[in-house]
Amino acid sequence: MHYLIPLTPIYKLLMILNFCSLSSGSSGNCYYIGNEFHGILIDAGISASSIRKFLKDRNISIQTIMGVLITHNHIDHIRGLEVLTRKSHLPAFTTLNIWESILTPQMKISRDCIRHIPLQQKFHLAGFDIEAFPVFHDAPETVGFHICAGDKKITIATDLGHICQTAAPYLKEANLLVIESNYDEEMLVNGGYPHYLKKRIQSDHGHLGNLQTSVFLADIINDNLSHICLAHLSKNNNTPEIALQTLHQTFAAKGIYLNGNLKILVLNRNIPTEMIRLTE
Ligand SMILES: [Zn+2]
Ligand SMILES: [Zn+2]
């Protein structure tokens, strides 16, 4: 005899993907992704005490965080890592090359907290399937992360000079895409940064400008994409208004007019966002 087991509630439970940005930009990056039971952090670029406070404000216990995934060794991504791993005993996950670039005499992380992950191979953590993919940036190695729960997918790529053929498919698949929109091209060129720094930011190993990001988004926009989060805005060479305006102008020039189904946010540099919930 066959019994019908009601699978729907469990199925729905597994579909939940919550996202919020705790901080985004060259002063510090930290993003939360969670489900009903557990969560993970992407980067720890703000102080450990700020991370704990921001989580507490959202009724998220640090005990439910199963690990922190690190994109690269720049200080705006690892500022709170040492204290976070020491005080909260959080395991930290990144590639061997990135660990080698992080573990300096000044950055002491307990061996117990160090986890190596391979590039472009799925691993399982906190109920999510996660894949690190390589991006071009001026660090010894930099990755983005693709996080799946059922058929819901979040991709985070915050520091990259251009979108290469390896990274693009991960960005195209996302339902919620966190993508860098670092600088307004005119503000950077006319601003006060020294020439070498402007060139570094503009290079293929630097950061994505508003126009670059907008053109890419106009190319990949599809019905599965529900949220675009413009991330890692420069304090000196961008504003949220200009980033959004560039996006809308680029879309309009390509005949793309948004209906209400696609939400576009600019992640604040210092203020955490509301929780975004992706469900079936
Ligand atoms: Zn950064
Ligand atoms: Zn960086």
| pLDDT above 90: residue 204 | yes
Distance between CA atoms of residues 207 and 212, nearest Å: 10
**Residue 207, burial from CB neighbour count under 10 angstroms (0-12, 13-18, 19+):** buried
Q: What is the mean pLDDT of residues 248-275?
A: 93
**pLDDT for position 259:** 79
Instruction: Tell me which of 71-85, 241-255, 259-273 is least confident.
Output: 259-273
Mean pLDDT (the chain) is 94
DSSP code of 54? H
pLDDT exceeds 60 at position 86: yes
Say how many Å lie between the CA of residue 69 and the centre of ligand 1. Answer: 14
- Whole-number Å distance, alpha carbon 242 to ligand 1 midpoint, is 20
| Ligand 1 center to 201 CA (angstroms) | 11
Provide mean pLDDT across the span 42-53: 97
Identify which ligand lies nearest to the alpha carbon of 25: 1
Q: Quick check: 161 and 207 in contact, CB under 8 A?
A: yes
CA 256/CA 272 separation, integer angstroms: 29
Share of the chain above pLDDT 90, in %: 89
pTM of the model as a whole: 0.94
Cβ atoms of 200 and 161 closer than 8 Å? no
Give the pLDDT confidence of 138-149 residue by residue, as tens digits. Answer: 999 999 999 999
**Residues less than 5 Å from ion ligand 2, measured at CB:** 74, 159
pLDDT at residue 266 tops 60: yes
User: Rounded to the nearest whole angstrom, what is the distance from the C-alpha of residue 63 to the centroid of ligand 1?
Assistant: 26
Q: Does residue 2 have a pLDDT over 60?
A: no
Q: What is the Å distance from ligand 2's center to 137 Cα?
A: 7
From the CA of 45, the nearest ligand is 1
pLDDT band at 84 (very low <50, low <70, confident <90, very high): very high
User: The sheet that has 114-116: what strands, in order across it?
Assistant: 114-116, 92-94, 65-69, 39-42, 30-34, 17-23, 276-278
pLDDT at 280: 67
**Is residue 11 pLDDT above 80, yes or no?**
no
